[in-house]
Homo-oligomer: A and B are copies of this chain.
Amino acid sequence: MLNFTPNSLKMTQDLSTELKIKEAAKRVFMAKGFDGCSTREIAKEAGMNVALVNYYFRSKGQLFQLIFRAALEDFMLSMVDVFSTDLSLESKMRIFIEREYDFLTKHPEMPGFIIGEMSRADGCGAGNMYWMKDKIAETGIFNDIQKAQEAGEIRKMDLLSIALILMSNCHFPFLGKPFVQNALHVSDEHYEQQLVLHKQYVTEMMINYLFINK
């Protein structure tokens, strides 16, 4: 009998368990963080035996690294592919903000997870993310910005500040939700509704500031 699945003969159960654990781990790690959960909790969430976690992924740490890197790649993907188009710089930024709000609305726990776990002592430190800048550079966005600065179209400021302005106004509304919501007594519904308007506000604010009006 023909079998097209590599590395394994029975696939239904096989890949299923590995995937189930990986997806359970993703859910649990993102909700509680590396320190905030146990191997047994992940196993239970996946409906599997504890030992299977280590059978497929060797250790809690390695499973975490897998999840973390995947999350990081997801996180970058929505950014990067907008920059690769041949739209104007202003359009790129507008669409970038749009996409960022879309993505974060679907995955609101993402920025907290990544930033939170990156600050951990033994968290996936510097070395693991060296590919990121290169990935962004490949899109040519850095050149676009430099050209636009030389042409006097956008304000001459360090790339870091441009990145900070964009990320601050896209990510903080999701990152800081638990704090801001409690501090101002805002309901979930009102918060989510306001985010739609907020996206438009910050788009206008940032474009107005970054781009020099003739």
* A residues apposed to B, CB below 8 Å: 31-33, 35-36, 109, 111-112, 114-116, 118-121, 126, 129-130, 132-133, 136, 157-161, 163-165, 167-169, 171-173, 175-176, 178-180, 182-186, 190-191, 194, 197-198, 201-202, 204-206, 208-209
Contacts and interface: CB of A to CB of B under 8 A. Distances in A.
A175 B115 CA distance: 8
Contacts of A109: 119
25 contacts: A35-B35, A36-B121, A115-B176, A115-B179, A116-B116, A129-B183, A136-B183, A157-B201, A158-B194, A160-B180, A160-B186, A161-B198, A161-B201, A164-B172, A164-B176, A165-B169, A165-B201, A165-B202, A167-B172, A168-B202, A169-B169, A171-B176, A172-B175, A175-B176, A204-B209
A190 B160 contact: yes
A190 B161 CA distance: 11
A184 B133 contact: yes
Contacts of A31: 121
Nearest to A199: B161
A132 to B, nearest CB: 5
Contacts of A164: 172-173, 176, 180, 198
A120 B36 contact: yes
B168 A173 contact: yes
A179 B209 contact: no
A59 to B, nearest CB: 18
A149 B52 CA distance: 60
Given A35-B36, A160-B184, 13 more contacts: A33-B33, A109-B119, A116-B119, A129-B183, A130-B185, A133-B184, A133-B185, A136-B183, A160-B186, A164-B198, A168-B202, A172-B172, A175-B175
Contact of A112 (B115, B157, B160, B191): B115
Contacts of A204: 209
B121 A116 contact: no
